[in-house]
Structure 1
Amino acid sequence: MSVATATARTPAARVIEMAGRGHRSLPVLVVLAIIWAVFYSQSSAYLSFRNITNLTLQIATTAILALGVVFVLLVGEIDLSSAVLSGVCAAIAAGLAVNSGLPLALAVAVAIASGMAITLIEALVITFGVPSLIVTLGGMVILQGLILVVLPPEFTVNVAGTSFAKIAGTAVPAGASYVLAALGTLAFAAYRAFQYRERISTGARTSPVSVVVPVVLTAAVLFGGVHILTRQRGLPMPVLIVAVMLLIAWYFTTQTRYGIHLYAVGGDREAAQRAGIPVRRMVVYSFLILGACAAVAGMVDASRQLGVSVTSGAGPLMLNAIAAAVVGGTSLFGGRGSIWSAILGALVIGSISNGVQLLGLTTEVQYFATGSVLIIAVAVDVVLTRGSLWPGRR
């Protein structure tokens, strides 16, 4: 780009370029704050400790499934079958743990392995050359039939009063929750300090503020979250499951070679192939992760609902999971996004649903709001991807 061209860029173009390079979570946080402010203005109970706890429990399933969707979107693919897959895996786990009497840990392991096996088959077909949209759409229909096969003749499994119900019914005591928050803060502080020393050793100019501020913010979020969520019985187990899965995903996507390859494949598949990155293998890995996340999401949801039926994994779950990933900042075009998109997007989608239910509004209001937010998020992603507000311009 010439000096004259760079100088001629409009302020809007410069803002779009800056937003495209990072900080995609900032607009999401602003939208979330607006949603909370609007609903709180209508009902003070919206931001009460009790309702915030209910909100976190309501979005747990969507957040876990959206986490798996993020991995698939990052490599430039899409999946439409994972919601129904979550119901199938929940039916497998509940059937083994409740009807067959297997230990819960073994039933959970079998369900996760089943989810990964199914997505492995889908991934192999996709790497063969069939578009992921078609493969997973067909897979969704097949899985709708498979759940009828997996369920018992009465087409339902009641898990109330069993060990399976403890997956979502267990709560970590407040004292232990604060210890976990302290450990998380210390671990993050050590990580930021290590990064600071690395930058200093390379001669890069940096300030201790780059360590102190993120650590303080992280501590405020962790301890504030624990304070709010432990006001009832303790820290809900689904919240802890989501947190652990997010941390594991964050580590592998940002601190390992796998993460570098993941973004490279989604950013430019041909260039990644020329660089020696195993593109097909990376696609398979992403779908395997989605299969595991779908299984966990299904079991958490079944434990919360105290049962599995033919409707498990149905309804708006698939739409909400994809919407959460996209609204949270993950690009539909691959190569851009973060695993934190899952929780941020799930908070946005869940906050709308929770507010609509709390105020007693009609269901269509929720659909209108969710659909509008999704369209706006994709439109923003398109603008950031092409670097201009208008088609055909850069």
Structure 2
Amino acid sequence: MSVATETRRSPVGRVIEMAAGGHRSIPVLVVLAIIWTVFYSQSSAYLSFQNITNLTLQIATTAILALGVVFVLLVGEIDLSSAVLSGVCAAVAAGLCVNSGLPLPIAIGAAILAGMVITFIEALVITFGVPSLIVTLGGMVILQGLILVVLPPEFTVSVAGTPFAKIASTAIPVGVSYGLAAAGTVFFAVYRLLQYRERRSTGTRISATSVYVPSLLVAVVLFGGVFTLTRQRGLPMPVLIVAVMLLIAWYFTTQTRYGIHLYAVGGDREAAQRAGVPVRRMVIYSFLILGACAAVAGMVDASRQLGVSVSSGGGALMLNAIAAAVVGGTSLFGGRGSIWSAILGALVIGSISNGVQLLGLTTEVQYFATGAVLIIAVAVDVVLTRGSILPGRR
């Protein structure tokens, strides 16, 4: 780009370019702050320790499922069956643990394996050339019938008083929670320090503030989160599950060859294939990850609800998971976004739902607000993708 062209670029164009280049989370944080401010102005209980803890527990299932959706969106595909799949996997785990008396770890492993097998089959059909929208739409219908097969004749499994219920009810002691926050802060600081030294060794001019400032922010978030969420009994287990899954996903998407290939496939599939990237394999890997995330999400939700039924994985869960991924900054067109989109988007969607329930508003308000936020998020994604606020010529 010439100097003259750069000079002529409007302020709006520069903002769009900055957002498209790696600051997609900033608008999400601004929207989240606005939502919190509006609801807090209506009820001071909205930002109380107890309600924030309730909010984090409410969004755990959506965040885990949205994490899997992010991987599929990054390769330019979509999945409409993962919510129902989460119910099927929860039914498998609950049936094995409660009805068959198998140990909880075996039941969890079987449920995750079942989720990955089902998404593997879907991915094979998709790599054959059938659009993922159609494959997963048909898969959703099939899974709605499968859950009736997996459940016992009474079509419900109660997990109350069983080890399965401890998945959501277990609380990490306060001292251990602060220890985990300290370990996370040290790990991140060491990671940034190694990055700083590596760049300095290559002659790149970089300030040491790139180590101190982010590390301080991470410390504030981690210790602040632990302080807020341990006011009741301790750190809720679902929160720890979400955090661990996010860290694992962050590592593989940013620090491995897999992550490079993932974004390459979503950015330009033909170019990636010419460069030797195994495109079909990457698509299959993404769906396998979604299958595992769906299984975990289903089990966490069943543990919170103390049971599995034909309605498990139904309702607005699928819409909320996709909305969370997109609202959080993952592009529907593939190749752009990050795994942090899952938690940011889930916070936005969950904050609206939580605020509506707290204020006793009608469900219609929640649907209107969620739908509006989703449309705005997709519109922003389109603007960032084409690099202009004006529509292109047809």
Q: TM-score if structure 2 supplies the norm length?
A: 0.99
Question: 3-state DSSP class of the match of 2:114?
Answer: helix
Q: Which amino acid aligns with 1:210?
A: S
Identity of matched residues, %: 86
1:43-68 CA-partner distances (Å, limit 9, x unpaired):
00000000000000000000000000
**Given residue 266 of structure 1, which amino acid in structure 2 is its aligned partner?**
G
Map 1:1-394 to 2 at 5 A: 1-392=1-392
Amino acid at match of 1:361: L
* Alpha-carbon distance in structure 2 between the residues aligned to 1:241 and 1:309: 23
Q: Deviations over 1:156-186 (max 9, x none)?
A: 0000000000000100010110000011111
Alpha-carbon separation, structure 2, partners of 1:319 and 1:285: 23
Using the alignment, how far apart are the partners of 1:367 and 1:74 within structure 2?
26
| Cα distance in 2 for residues equivalent to 1:75 and 1:285 | 10
How far did 1:362 drift? 0.2
Provide the rounded CA distance (Å) in 2 between the counterparts of 1:219 and 1:390: 41
Q: Distance in 1 between matches of 2:273 and 2:285?
A: 16
Gapped regions of structure 2 (runs ≥ 5): none
Tell me by how many angstroms 1:9 deviates: 2.1
Aligned AA (1:348): V
- CA–CA separation in structure 2 for the residues paired with 1:5 and 1:220: 41
Measured in 1, the distance between the counterparts of 2:162 and 2:3 equals 69
**Matched position secondary structure for 2:308:** strand
Please give the per-residue CA displacement for 1:202-236, whole angstroms capped at 9, x wherever unaligned: 11111111100001100000000000100001000
TM-score by length of structure 1 reads: 0.99
> Hey, what's the Cα distance between the residues in 2 that align with 1:2 and 1:226?
49
- Which letter maps to 1:355? G
- The CA distance in 2 between the partners of 1:51 and 1:287, in whole Å, is 34
Other structure's SS at 1:308 match: strand
Amino acid at match of 1:246: L
Report SS of the residue matched to 1:252. Answer: helix
Q: Distance in 2 between matches of 1:158 and 1:11?
A: 58
Q: Separation in 2 of the partners of 1:240 and 1:33?
A: 24
C-alpha deviation, 1:343, in angstroms:
0.1
Q: Residues 3, 187 of structure 1: CA spacing in aligned structure 2 closer, same or farther, 3 A cutoff?
A: closer
Question: d(CA) in 2 for partners of 1:368 and 1:122?
Answer: 32
The CA deviation at 1:151 is 0.1
Equivalent-residue separation in structure 1 for 2:15 and 2:208 (angstroms): 28
Amino acid at match of 2:291: G
Corresponding residue SS for 1:152 = coil
**Amino acid aligned to 2:353:** S
Aligned-pair CA distance for 1:276:
0.2
Distance 2:202 2:9 in 1: 34
Provide the rounded CA distance (Å) in 1 between the counterparts of 2:214 and 2:9. 33
Question: Any idea what the Cα deviations from partners look like across 1:335-392, whole Å, max 9, x if unmatched?
Answer: 0000000000000000000000000000000000000000000000000000011111
SS of 2:212 mapped into structure 1: helix
Residue 4 of structure 1: CA displacement?
3.8
Cα distance, 1:2 vs structure 2: 4.3
Corresponding letter in the other structure for 2:33:
A
Letter in 1 for 2:84: V
- SS of the residue aligned with 2:281? helix
Q: CA deviation at 1:5?
A: 3.3
Partner Cα distance (2:108, 2:15) in 1:
47
- What SS is found at the alignment partner of 1:338? coil
**1:19 positional shift:** 1.1
1:305-337 alpha-carbon deviations (Å, 9 max, x no partner): 000000000000000000000000000000000
| Letter of the 2:186 counterpart | L
In the comparison of the two structures, how many residue pairs are matched?
Answer: 393
Letter of the 1:9 counterpart: R
Once residues 122 and 27 of structure 1 are traced to their aligned partners in structure 2, the CA distance between those partners, rounded to angstroms, is: 34
Note the C-alpha offset of 1:3.
Answer: 4.2
Give the Cα separation in 1 of the matches to 2:3 and 2:147. 61
Give the aligned residue type for 1:116: M
Q: Secondary structure at the match of 2:157?
A: strand
SS at 2:277 equivalent: coil
Alpha-carbon deviation of 1:303? Answer: 0.1
Deviation at 1:14, TM superposition (A): 1.6
SS at match of 1:161: coil
Q: Matched residues in 1 for 2:82 and 2:257: separation?
A: 26
In structure 2, distance between residues paired with 1:104 and 1:2: 62
